Structure 1
Amino acid sequence: MRFAVRRLLPVLAVAILAGACAANSAEPGPAASAPPAPAEQNLAGVCPATVVVQMNWFPQAEHGGLYRLLGSGFTVDAERKVVSGPLLAEGGDTGVRLEVRAGGPVTGFQRVSALMATDQSITLGAVATDEAVQEAASLPTLAVFAPMDKSPQMVMWSPEQHPDWQHISDIGRTDTTVVYSSGASYMDYLVHSGQLKQSQVDGSYDGGPARFVAEGGRIAQQGYATNEPYQYQNEITAWHRPVRFELVHDSGYPIYPEALAIRADQADTLAPCLRRLVPILQRSTAAYLREPDTTNAAIVRMVRELNAGYEYSADRAAFAVTQLRELGLANDGRTAVVGDFDPARVTTVLDALRPVLTEQGHPPAADLTADAVVSNAFIDQSIQW
């Protein structure tokens, strides 16, 4: 859903440096080992002994299905910014370990596709559709599972200051400044499509609320529908009132955010693993949306012990789950299958980005198609919401 600085608070860099000196988690979880998973969910000898997943931020509810696979017996390495433990399928030990690496400030905001290209130990990485299209020539990846159907990326504004706005395009009919994190591809699309003007977009957003609050909500700002609406109304004492927003998805930019992808050249090698692992991800994601509380408590603990530099509260995680459900972020209703891709949507993103990237001097290959970017080959169509 980017590339953009995500929820970066001004103290984040300092906190991360301090966290590098911290010890590993003091709460390692239960010592008792889990019973073995059924044979069809046994990943030993089929998947890498440690399945490594590179994320582009710290743990959060949007990826609850992934973190649910760690159960409660995980450990946190505050220095390496890693959460790890036995990979569980419905409480059964699959015979391999899962290591989830934080990203964003931890990795200098490098794109996950770039990290995957340089670190062969990474099995899966969180790569949004637009990133995959942009990097298809030099850093090709293939998404095999979509934790979310829609991106929570949004543009938000104050309903008090701008009561007539309903859509992002309404902002573009004014000269109001829209603050975002430089490098965000969706903003290039919004400008190129005429919904916003180049003269009004400002790429200086640092992830904090200070400017929006200081301006009294007269500006518009990027955000995430799973985060800022709760944060601004409940946690930012200088604001403490609602914001309104439109999803970038609804502007005609329907990416799959942070889909789990492999390096494209690993498709054949990892196929036996993915045939068992992806259905496990599907089931865990659906189960998380039904009963999120235990995993949310684990995510809150992970963020705290990773010394992420900000507090992720149980209430904010619960709000994120509500938004995932009510805004169709988890399931847009087009199919009942958990985690699958609509190739037509990927083609829409490719068509939207092609003129933008061409104008910027690095067009995607003329023969690039959706099936080079996403694959439903490992999705179990019987696993449904």
Structure 2
Amino acid sequence: MSPSATGSAAESSYATPLKGICPSTVVIQANWWPGLPDGYLYQLLGPNPTIDVSKNRVEGPLGATGVRLQVRAGGPATGFQPVTSLLAQDDSILAGYVGTDEAVQASGGRPPVAVFAPYEKSPLALIWGNPAWNFTNVAEIRQSGATVLASASGTSFPDVFVREGSLTKSQVDTSYQGSPDRFVAADGKIVQQAFVTNEPYLLQHDVKAWGKPVKHLLLQDEYPAYISALAVRPDKLSTQRACLAKLVPLLQRAQRDYVANPAPVNQLLLKVVSTLHTGGFTLSSGLLAYGNATQKQLGLIADGSDGVLGSFDTARVGKLIGRLVPVFTAKGSTPKAGLVPSDLVTNEFLDKTVALK
């Protein structure tokens, strides 16, 4: 099915009137180049969206709602600025991707409030290629003494695990920048940060120097942060309340529809990434198909504990706050005093009738 067919489906499926209620262009700030996590947003785009190569943006009608949708790439496309910073700087952005850890870290200022959880379970994982290792929890990795290669920014799980004793500080190496070179050079005898929907496929199929399966440990059980939650500035929570009440249910339905039939949107994602100047970042139909199958198999996109697609479990957020506050305080970016889940997440705008099951 062609990208234009995706747009036709958007026009017929998403027709809640938003004109005069939402901004004329609903701007969403992503945290990386377009890919699997953006599927539900691209699901909403009408026919023949515009791909702005100079600004790394995709824009088109938001279904048949009467307003437009603009999705902005992040990460390398914005000089790796945190989405919380972009939300604070640019008033034209309605919402952006903010994980639980980034929200806690930013809470000392104006903490963004997440209104939709695209992922119920985090795709964050640790991978390795040593066939002798069969880790079932993080403590077993500590006991092995294996080096854990992680990113210096964007995630805080290594600091949390070191603080809690699941890893030792000496075994964590935070020099990972996304390249598979170190993994290959170590012959897979290293534990590396990954998204379970991405790196295992790339290493097996696209990294010729490796070219075989890897093992993984999903971190959801031990670090259940919400990844890429859609968040708004606290002032917009009030000024855009009427908009969010109508927009968020559309996001829920779009996520449900993308999970059910991802192929049309995947074609659009491939077209967008091949058009933008992504500095070597690529997508393939095989990678997207693997990602779709993996997130379905592992239940990464699923109804929340209340049975609603896109909801937040406030008890889970509260426990994460308790684990993250000491880590960021020790690093000098002190979170808000007395931080509670309602400072960071809300289920107010969700349509309680929308569920995957």
- The answer (yes or no) to whether the contact 2:14–2:250 under 8 Å persists in 1 is no
Distance in 2 between the 1:84 and 1:212 partners? 37
Find 2:237's aligned residue among 256, 267, 274: 267
1:204-263 per-residue CA deviation (whole Å, 9 max, x = no partner) reads: 112111111011011111111010111111111111111111122222x21111111110
**What secondary structure sits across from 1:218 in the alignment?**
coil
Structure 2 match to 1:293: 263
Find 1:256's aligned residue among 197, 219, 226: 226
**What secondary structure sits across from 1:260 in the alignment?**
strand
Structure 1 match to 2:42: 67
Structure 2 match to 1:111: 82
1:97-148 per-residue CA deviation (whole Å, 9 max, x = no partner) reads: 0000000011111100100101000011111111111101213111001111
Distance in 1 between the 2:45 and 2:82 partners? 25
Matched, 1:178 2:148: yes
Deviation at 1:29, TM superposition (A): 5.1
Deviation at 1:68, TM superposition (A): 0.7
Counting only pairs closer than 5 Å after superposition, residues 1-385 of structure 1 correspond to structure 2 as 41-88=16-63, 93-160=64-131, 162-183=132-153, 184-251=155-222, 253-308=223-278, 309-331=280-302, 334-385=305-356
Amino acid at match of 1:66: L
- Structure 2 alignment gaps of length 5 or more: none
Distance in 2 between the 1:75 and 1:317 partners? 22
Distance in 2 between the 1:316 and 1:169 partners? 30
> Kindly tell me: are residues 37 and 276 of structure 1, through their superposed partners in 2, closer, same or farther at Cα, counting changes over 3 Å?
farther
Distance in 2 between the 1:352 and 1:255 partners? 11
> Kindly tell me: are residues 335 and 34 of structure 1, through their superposed partners in 2, closer, same or farther at Cα, counting changes over 3 Å?
closer
> Kindly tell me: are residues 170 and 360 of structure 1, through their superposed partners in 2, closer, same or farther at Cα, counting changes over 3 Å?
same
**What secondary structure sits across from 2:327 in the alignment?**
helix
Distance in 2 between the 1:285 and 1:331 partners? 10
**What secondary structure sits across from 1:46 in the alignment?**
coil
Distance in 1 between the 2:227 and 2:159 partners? 17
Distance in 1 between the 2:323 and 2:349 partners? 27
**What secondary structure sits across from 1:249 in the alignment?**
coil
Aligned residue pairs total 352
- The answer (yes or no) to whether the contact 1:114–1:139 under 8 Å persists in 2 is no
TM-score (norm 2): 0.93
- The answer (yes or no) to whether the contact 1:72–1:298 under 8 Å persists in 2 is no
Amino acid at match of 1:177: T
- The answer (yes or no) to whether the contact 1:175–1:200 under 8 Å persists in 2 is yes
**What secondary structure sits across from 1:250 in the alignment?**
coil
> Kindly tell me: are residues 174 and 332 of structure 1, through their superposed partners in 2, closer, same or farther at Cα, counting changes over 3 Å?
farther
Structure 2 match to 1:13: none
**What secondary structure sits across from 1:173 in the alignment?**
helix
Amino acid at match of 1:143: A
Deviation at 1:28, TM superposition (A): 9.3
> Kindly tell me: are residues 304 and 35 of structure 1, through their superposed partners in 2, closer, same or farther at Cα, counting changes over 3 Å?
closer
- Structure 1 alignment gaps of length 5 or more: 1-26
What percent of counterpart residues are identical? 43
108-117 or 178-187, which moves further after superposition? Answer: 178-187
Structure 2 match to 1:4: none
1:17-47 per-residue CA deviation (whole Å, 9 max, x = no partner) reads: xxxxxxxxxx9958x9999779971100000
Give every structure 1 segment of 4 or more consecutive aligned residues whose post-TM-superposition deviation is greater than 3 Å: 27-30, 32-40
Distance in 1 between the 2:65 and 2:172 partners? 48
- The answer (yes or no) to whether the contact 2:10–2:43 under 8 Å persists in 1 is no
Distance in 1 between the 2:313 and 2:27 partners? 26
- The answer (yes or no) to whether the contact 1:75–1:85 under 8 Å persists in 2 is yes
Amino acid at match of 1:73: N
Distance in 1 between the 2:336 and 2:354 partners? 34
Distance in 2 between the 1:40 and 1:228 partners? 37
